[in-house]
Structures are given as structure tokens and as C-alpha cells.
Structure 1
């Protein structure tokens, strides 16, 4: 780092000198044009060359085989990486199932559409401008989907099998929202203007992305609980069911409160109460888990799996709260 004094030239122009070594290294001479990118966080980025198009404007991918999974993985990777235009080419021609899988996936993801499609290529074009996206609102939406799934999963464990199908639908929606957030987070690492269009600082966007990552993991555990519940046809003591439901509710409260702390910039004192609550919940989970030695092996196995997911849900909430605590130090 070097400190340079700002000087005023003429009636209203401010100038600052640049390091000679840096200028020489980049072949900068008097009269050359530089490109300045001001950011909302107060930083100013200077580039020597302005590229004709963004590095994220286009990517072309040649698939190495005709497997459906290969095409879906590569397409999804390009989407979350943030490319505006994605073109997939097969080694020869697209297998029917492979082409259909890519087209179907493009309809499931947010903000893109198939621009061109044939046996020899599929081109997908991004539609959303970053200025039209609210990452904050997307996190709120993801939290709603995730906690709804978790509540339904615990209800399925308690005997309401009708909730399992609901969880599957919500999981698809949660994945879409998380992938959209990931897409814009990754774009911000390459595109200088992405943060300004989103109206966020680097710190804010990272906190939202980190929160979304934890929420996506909670959704995964909701699916896990529902799967365990749907495969178990034995009896579980009603008192034990009630205790598990109560702990599930507590774990969701931790996630809700910690996400609020990130979204609304809670004070350190408010965040500490959430962290303390999480510690109590994980202790209660351990107490119930240890008491399962008196249960039948099959019942104990099922309840242990559900308790593990509840414990992890609480800890994902704790991760979010710790992120909020770090952010509170910037206030």
C-alpha cells in the first residue's frame, strides 16, 4: 500500500498520482486511457484495459460423453458460475434424453431461457439483470421454504405422512432460490459492477450467501427426516414424539432468529441470546439421545437419525448467528 495526496487541478478536477513501478509494469504512458469503477463500499477500482465484453458474457462447453448426469452437471456449474450465455455441444449429436434433461433443467432454474436448440447444440441465455434481483428477499424466501419443509418433516415423523410430498416440492424451490443467490455471488467475484447493481457491499453479499448456504443444508436435513419417517412403520412412544417435535421447533426458532440477525443487523447482545439458546438445544438433544438405550434398536435408530438432523439444524442456525455476530463488529 502507498499513500498519495489528492490534489485539485483547475476549477473542480481532483487528481492523484500513481506508482511509477505499477505504471511501467502495465506499459502506461501519459495520455493513456484508464477505467475507473466506483463501488458502494467506497472503494475505487482502476483497470488498465477495458475488455470488449465481460468474462461472464459467454461460455462454450463440449460434453465428454452422452450421459445425462454429465450434461446436467456442466450446465448447472455454468449457471451458478454466473455466465450470461451458455452453449453446450455434444461430441457428436445430442442423445434425446440428454437434450431433454438440459432443456428441462433450464426451465427449473431462475432467470434463463433456451435461445437455440438442435441436435448439435443448446444455447441458454440469461434474462435477469442484477438490478432486478433482491438477494435479501431471496434469502427471506429461502428461509420460509426451508423452515416450512423442516416443520412438515417433523410432522411426518409424528405420523402425518401427507406432508412428505409437500417437502419434495418445497425442496425443488429451495434449490432454485439458493442457486440464484450463488449465481449472483459468483458473478460479483468477476464482474466489477455486479455489487453496485445488487445494491450491496461485499460484506453484505457474503453474509447473505453464507446464510443461504446454511439454509440449503437445513432443507437437506428436512428431506432426510422425511425419508426416515416415511420408511419407518413401527410405533414410537407419544412422549418421545412430543419431545422430538419440541426440539424440532426450537431448532427452527434458532434458524429464524439467526437469519433475522443477518438481515436486520442485530446487536451483539441479541445475537448472544440466540447462540446461548442453540447450546441449550444441542444439550437437550444429547440428553434424549443418551436415553434411547432403553428403546428397541429399530425405534432408537430412527429417533437417533431424526435427532441428529435436528442437532445439525440448530448448529447451522448457530453458524448464521456467528456470521451475524462478526457483522455486528462492523457497525
Structure 2
């Protein structure tokens, strides 16, 4: 609700604005209480009690109705997790072992810090034990990139040494990226609600939340395409004849996304523009060149080669998105 107040001048130099009585009573503010004024970059001011923050979302309940799919229930759980609830109680209309197994699986693979506090035939209580301030958003971004680059490094070794890649190993690392992505979104949401300060998760201004959410998504998609490349490598029948060019492309792409995230973290707009104007153009040209070459030399592998190079192209594009976000965040 918007409330209009007239600015008053006292003592010849001090501006005074009264605060609504209803809000003061709700926040237990009395004469002599301290409040904090946060001066925002857009010219606005945020006002909150110095010792009080919005209460964390303690608990919520999901009642599973007959006919609800496993997917819909799992999406509800994920949504509650992202919103910031500490306890999620899932109530089933009847005993359903398969449903519970699916929930346990998604918790294990996709969510950080979630434990099953209680379980019986009709309900399951999930407790989120992790505190969002334990891992700042910058560390989450770096860990997501590290996992993706480790997959690309394994692809490189598999190509150079004609080794096999274990799909199960790749899948487990994709789950790590998904966990970090969802955990990062939970952090951003909690910071927006004021449950913790933006500074505690490594941000400075509210508008940065949108930019960090975009970078989180870009890194999550880079992880997906790293998985796609690794799985496609398994299908190659003649790695030796293809290895040299794909290794070169892998190295160029990995260095590009690493430099892109570095530019974002350091707010280096000049580096971002250079990467966009020079490096990205060169890598795209190299992609086209090796696709033409390899598709002519290995026509029987053209479908797999197209898939691999296409995924490298998508990784490059997500890197350029990160660079454009770097420029945007600096211009606000």
C-alpha cells in the first residue's frame, strides 16, 4: 500500500517524514527505537527495524489429491523449496510406496539440505536444514561452472585417449548442477523477501537479483549441454579421426565461458565487449569450419558430429548471454 507523507523541516536543516502508526505498532517500534534506512541506487529508500526482519516461512502443507500425478506433486515440493519454507509436510490420501520413492529420489538428486524428518503410511515431513547464507551466490556460480568444465575436460580426455565415458558419472554431475541452481534460486528469493539481507548472499542492490537469476539459468543450461556432448561422444565410432578438431573446439569454448563468468563476477564491461566482438565471432567461425571438414571426412558420423558441435554452439551462446548481462548490470 502506498501512503503519502508531507516532508517537514526542523531546525533549519533536518528533513522529517512521519511513519504510519499501524506499521510502527506491527513492528513494535516505539519512541527511541532504531530503524535502518537503506538508500537504493534507483533513488528509493527502504525502511525496516534495526532488530527485526521478516520471519522465515516456517512450514507448509501439500495435500495430495486422488488423481494427482507424481510430476505435479514433485513440482509443488520444488516450488515450496524455492519459496523458502523450512518444513514441507506432504499428506497422501492413501498409502503409496511408489509416490514416496519418487519423492525420496528427487530430494536426493535435486535438492540441497533437505532431510526426511518423519514418514509414515500417509505422510512425509521434509525439513530444509541448510541456511542460505552458508554459500554466497558467487560461490554457487563458480561451482556450477567448475562442474560443467569438469565434464568438458572428461570429454577432452576421452577424445584424446580414445577412452569411454560413463553415462552414470555424467548424470550424477548434472544433478549437482541442478542442485546448485535450485539452491541459488532459493537464496535469491529469500533475499528479495528480506529474510536475509542481499549483502549476506553477496549482492549489493535489489535489481541484481534478476541478473543473477539469468546467469544461474545460463549456467544450468551450459551444464545440460555439457551432458549432451558427453553422451554424444559415447556414440562416436571413430574418435581418433575426429578428436583433434573437437578437442580444439572444446578448449576454445571452455575458455570462453570461463572468461565470460569472470567478466560478470568482476563487472568488467570492457572484457565483456571484447569477448563478444572478437572471441565469440572467432569461435563461431571455427565451429562452422570444423563441421564442414568433419562432415566431409566422416559422413557416417555426421548426425553425431552435428549434435556435438550444436551443443558447443549453445554453450557459446549461453556464454554470450552472461556477457550481455554483465553489460546490462553495469548500466543500471
Question: Shorter-chain-normalised TM-score: which range?
Answer: 0.7 to 0.9
Provide the rounded CA distance (Å) in 1 between the counterparts of 2:23 and 2:271: 55
Q: Which residue of 1 aligns with 2:58?
A: 57
TM-score normalized by the length of structure 2: 0.80
- Answer whether contact 1:87 1:123 (CA < 8 A) is retained: yes
Shift of 1:74: 2.5
Q: Which residue of 2 aligns with 1:174?
A: 177
Q: Which residue of 2 aligns with 1:248?
A: 250
Between 241-250 and 92-101, report the one with greater CA deviation: 92-101
Pair 1:6–1:214, CA change in 2 (3 A): farther
- 1:15-94 equivalences in 2 (<5 Å): 15-17=16-18, 33=25, 35=27, 38-39=37-38, 41=40, 44-45=45-46, 54=55, 56-64=57-65, 65=67, 67-90=69-92, 92-94=93-95
Q: Give the secondary structure class of the aligned counterpart of 1:93.
A: coil
- Answer whether contact 2:57 2:86 (CA < 8 A) is retained: yes
Pair 1:302–1:6, CA change in 2 (3 A): farther
Shift of 1:296: 4.5
Provide the rounded CA distance (Å) in 2 between the counterparts of 1:194 and 1:128: 17
Counterpart selection for 2:235 from 214, 228, 231: 231
- Answer whether contact 1:153 1:164 (CA < 8 A) is retained: no
The Cα offsets for residues 166-200 of structure 1, whole Å up to 9 and x where unpaired, read as: 32222121111111001112333444645254252
Shift of 1:142: 1.1
Q: Which residue of 1 aligns with 2:31?
A: none
Q: Give the length in aligned residue pairs.
A: 313
Q: Give the secondary structure class of the aligned counterpart of 2:164.
A: coil
Question: Is 1:208 aligned to residue 209 of structure 2?
Answer: no
Q: Give the secondary structure class of the aligned counterpart of 1:83.
A: coil
Provide the rounded CA distance (Å) in 1 between the counterparts of 2:6 and 2:293: 67
Shift of 1:219: 0.9
TM-score normalized by the length of structure 1: 0.80
Provide the rounded CA distance (Å) in 1 between the counterparts of 2:147 and 2:8: 51
- Answer whether contact 2:56 2:84 (CA < 8 A) is retained: no
CA-atom RMSD, angstroms? 3.4
- Answer whether contact 1:289 1:304 (CA < 8 A) is retained: yes
Q: Give the secondary structure class of the aligned counterpart of 1:202.
A: coil
Counterpart selection for 1:139 from 138, 141, 147: 141
Unaligned runs of 5+ in 2: 28-34
Q: Which residue of 1 aligns with 2:221?
A: 217
Unaligned runs of 5+ in 1: 19-27
Q: Which residue of 1 aligns with 2:132?
A: 130
